[in-house]
Structure 1
């Protein structure tokens, strides 16, 4: 158990030699008349019930907002790699150029075929027009119908030639591979001169959009049910929206706040967890896909007592415990915590409004020990000070 020894308290105690001995070796209480141990002096703060944010900490993993593998859609030799790895690309930016000579030839042939088809249509149309004028006068009905069929065939050939031209133009355009999304490209897996094929298995490179970025969080289904039960019972008041903050792998707090994108609807059959997706702004690309993170999710507000973490300990059973002063005695209590907030446990059971929590003089303190209480204050860093001196300083 890590506590602040009494000798490091900010207040000044004028107890003479006996007090100095107690400070130096807090395990020995002062001796009273007849050698009987006197009460151990402890610092206490009064607990109060208050509205505090109900926050849970969940493991998470970063996932790209958008990510795509870049593959060629035509066959050919890579003529040029235009992009620079790691540099932001916009939609439509040129990335690769494939040798286009054969596709230029196919396009020219398709254009010529279309021109021939158009000429055939014009000729067939002229024949039909002439035969219709002479229908019954030197031209049989059968000849007119034959000419009309020839016109329809010529028009069909024209449409086929137009489709072939479109295909040839598409193939020509696809010799220039452009960014389909905004993002940052990886190093190319193929070099200039490499022969590539349409829709090959191996990607040329990967393009990833990093801003914004998703973080997938996992919450146990059991705790999720308990939270919903507390909401139904009125013990927890939901906010208008979730407040989500992140801690990076190095312990650094991330500035941006997240917003819920997708609430979990399925429970994993392997982990028993429910996955949530949160979106964060990531303009500096500080978060990268695959990173493991810790998310602090404020669900709403609950009525609880904030117990400084430094005033608590864990029993051998793992239960959270603390000492309160009751009628001159130290009484050990077992706490029920619903998470943490500002270096304090959010306690909903085990300690009540008005209880005097012992925060100083805890070393070797035992359940039922005689104690003499002194009012103290404790700051956000866990530093204990005499309440009178703190008031004087203010």
Structure 2
């Protein structure tokens, strides 16, 4: 009997459990109601209304520092170096003696040339007296014309010998002076390539040392010719306004990212384009009294290139790029729908991009919540707080490459 009862109970229990499950599900629908049939709620985003304003155009160019003046010291005479008269890395003055070469042989040559000149001067005196006497005697026919001509020729030969002796003395004096190597400019001297006791030769290829004037100092910059052409077209079209001042101020950013304290000026611009690189060389000059800038340093220079009117500032975080690298911003329309808008970017200005095309003043762009939206979808737009600093208050602008 027990086995029979269990056989009948199992189907009954299963039916009862199924009934309870269906009732629970039915009850849940009745309690919770039917699921919502409308679209999901639009995401909330923060927008910023853009406006047109006047923005300074500043281009950032790479460059290297170079000395204002540079002089390589090479001996003009051959001899043994007897003294190095400077400390390596120190400041030297123009005309300061830096090296001394053994002067004994050149002093002897100078003394010999001086004696030769004295002998030549004495010979000239004798020849002049003889020529004057013969000139008087030939008038009264006391001597022959041939003797007078010989006396006059001897005088001229003696004068020529004296001139040659003077030249030899000057050459000996110059060589004697060259035994002291003097700095042709004031500046900082580098390490010495030789020490006392070394044999140096006249006009040798290796420089003994190099003196560089570093205050002021030059910065050589390169700018593409294409960028120059673009700027010229925009000036002609009136989209850029050139500065009224003749000089161009230049600011410098050092290798560690810090800004150089002193402001420089543009010194020259090359009139030819480098065929290999397609760029033009610009040279700026900076004061360097503290010696912060050293030759060969890599720097970045910022040069103003006019003012762009009716430009629009877009925060960096509001701009993205597509797979092709084109700049995009998300615009919220009047119907609160998202539109992906391609824009043209000219430069970076502080925490903003300077947009020159694709946006109009008064349009709203999404600055926060970009990850929650897609083109064509509705959004709940909320205006952002105070906008980024104006162009006049922002840091120096950098042209977009």
Give the TM interval when normalised to the shorter protein. Answer: 0.7 to 0.9
User: Which of 214-223 and 120-129 deviates more?
Assistant: 214-223
Q: 1:295 aligns with which of 292, 301, 322?
A: 301
Aligned residue in 1 for 2:15:
none
Aligned residue in 1 for 2:341:
333
1:13-162 equivalences in 2 (<5 Å): 36-135=39-138, 136=140, 138-162=142-166
- Taking only aligned residues, the RMSD between alpha carbons, in angstroms, comes to 2.0
Aligned residue in 2 for 1:238:
242
Q: Secondary structure at the match of 1:377?
A: coil
Unaligned runs of 5+ in 1: 1-31, 382-394
User: Which of 103-112 and 64-73 deviates more?
Assistant: 64-73
1:225-374 equivalences in 2 (<5 Å): 225-239=229-243, 240=245, 241-303=247-309, 304-327=311-334, 328-374=336-382
Q: Is the 8 A contact 1:55 1:340 kept in 2?
A: no
**Separation of aligned partners in 2, 1:320 and 1:283:** 44
Unaligned runs of 5+ in 2: 1-34, 391-401
1:152-231 equivalences in 2 (<5 Å): 152-231=156-235
**Separation of aligned partners in 1, 2:170 and 2:183:** 22
**Separation of aligned partners in 2, 1:300 and 1:130:** 85
Q: Is the 8 A contact 2:343 2:355 kept in 1?
A: yes
Name the larger-Rg structure: 2
Q: Is the 8 A contact 2:312 2:354 kept in 1?
A: yes
1:183-234 deviation line (CA, Å, top 9, x unaligned): 2111110110001000001111112121222222222222221111111111
Deviation at 1:252, TM superposition (A): 1.2
1:54-85 deviation line (CA, Å, top 9, x unaligned): 11222212222222221000011111111112
**Separation of aligned partners in 2, 1:364 and 1:231:** 41
Q: Is the 8 A contact 2:351 2:388 kept in 1?
A: no
Deviation at 1:257, TM superposition (A): 2.2
Give the number of equivalent residue pairs: 350
| TM superposition outliers: structure 1 runs of 4+ over 6 Å | none
Deviation at 1:321, TM superposition (A): 1.6
Deviation at 1:162, TM superposition (A): 0.6
Deviation at 1:154, TM superposition (A): 0.8
Q: Is the 8 A contact 2:352 2:388 kept in 1?
A: no
Aligned residue in 2 for 1:392:
none
Q: Is the 8 A contact 1:236 1:300 kept in 2?
A: yes
Q: Is the 8 A contact 2:43 2:372 kept in 1?
A: no
1:268-288 deviation line (CA, Å, top 9, x unaligned): 222222222222222222222
**Separation of aligned partners in 2, 1:166 and 1:278:** 43
**Separation of aligned partners in 2, 1:88 and 1:133:** 67
Q: Is the 8 A contact 1:305 1:351 kept in 2?
A: yes
Q: Secondary structure at the match of 1:63?
A: strand
